[in-house]
Structure 1
């Protein structure tokens, strides 16, 4: 990657829109580039101000407080009427209906608030799980890329693109960056393979159908002879289709 390419990553890095290999390269760069460090800080500050109006999760006590308020609130009594007693008797059922309707409306409002809170809480839990998984994956990626025995190999893809394999025997894994110029059709997918000698190819993961690029941590790549990529039916195949192998990265 050239110096010009590195400087061009400032905005993408500030918004966390770089892949793992680009992140490592840029962080090594800004360790010595004060101009880029300053620009990253300014862009992140701007991004954080733009997010000031985002929603917050209701506190866990919201549902209990709403239901308690419903229980404490007395309904208004019927208004005294100057009409004859018969009319008052006829009006009483209507007031009871209005009172019941008001109580039901309060309960429904409380239930709606609780439902919204429950949905938002579920979203927060799901987001937290995704963030935790991403942090674990990022930590593993950084450990591999920072390994003293890191070896980086690359090969072009048929049809345009490149596959890069950064391997560490100490970590027993590799960071694989796959970037194709064209994505497979919607019912086809890139599938990765580990190949040792004349033995059978071992599945190393399938990208989502129609996806053109990805960065993956793949265990067990060191010690193999070739890392290959083929185009397979959506969901992957048990063995690579020989005529559809689009990249082979020699590992030895």
Structure 2
């Protein structure tokens, strides 16, 4: 049986403080971000049910996972946080480009922090080919994330990732521009199940010959928690929202589909 998946956006990083900070490479969490992790840990009600925690290999997602889901690691002392390169952020800005594998190994494995970096190989942060910030590559990479999650034996999984790629992973574009390049607030979590319907086309209607789209569906409780109707939009409505989202994100150059717009501030912090 496919697992329940809790998708989480990372807590606030220094790049969230201003658009100028998007030039920071692989930035740390801010003090507010660390507090958001503490709040996430306190308010997330499913720690005892989660059997696996996964994160994008970018540092702010790794630390959000370690801090926000510490009870899971305490309950499963032999479990490590798995870093999944396909879950990295969509754009190729410095703030969304991860560190080289040897740098990550030194920081985490060198300090005996329970992080599994075995899937993080050279080139994962190149932002070219499979890793490029184009809609086609992002749709494919997001589908790989969904299929990887669906194949896991665990019954309940947490994935900590990023605001932009989350729209590709969930295929939900209802609120794609609510904040700075995303509809997700920092340290927000939403809960999904895999659809019983096996879609043989992607969200653009392109046929998939190798397998199905591994579609995720947000639970009614999760949608209501964030003020949405219990029932999600239909597949056709999702396609229309996706097209609208890309039109707004796309500018003249191909890489600009994944650029973040200006967004807004909440309590003095950009989200």
TM-score by length of 2: 0.24
Of structures 1 and 2, the larger Rg is shown by 1
Structure with greater strand share of residues? 1
Q: Which has the higher helix share?
A: 1
**TM-score, scaled to structure 1:** 0.25
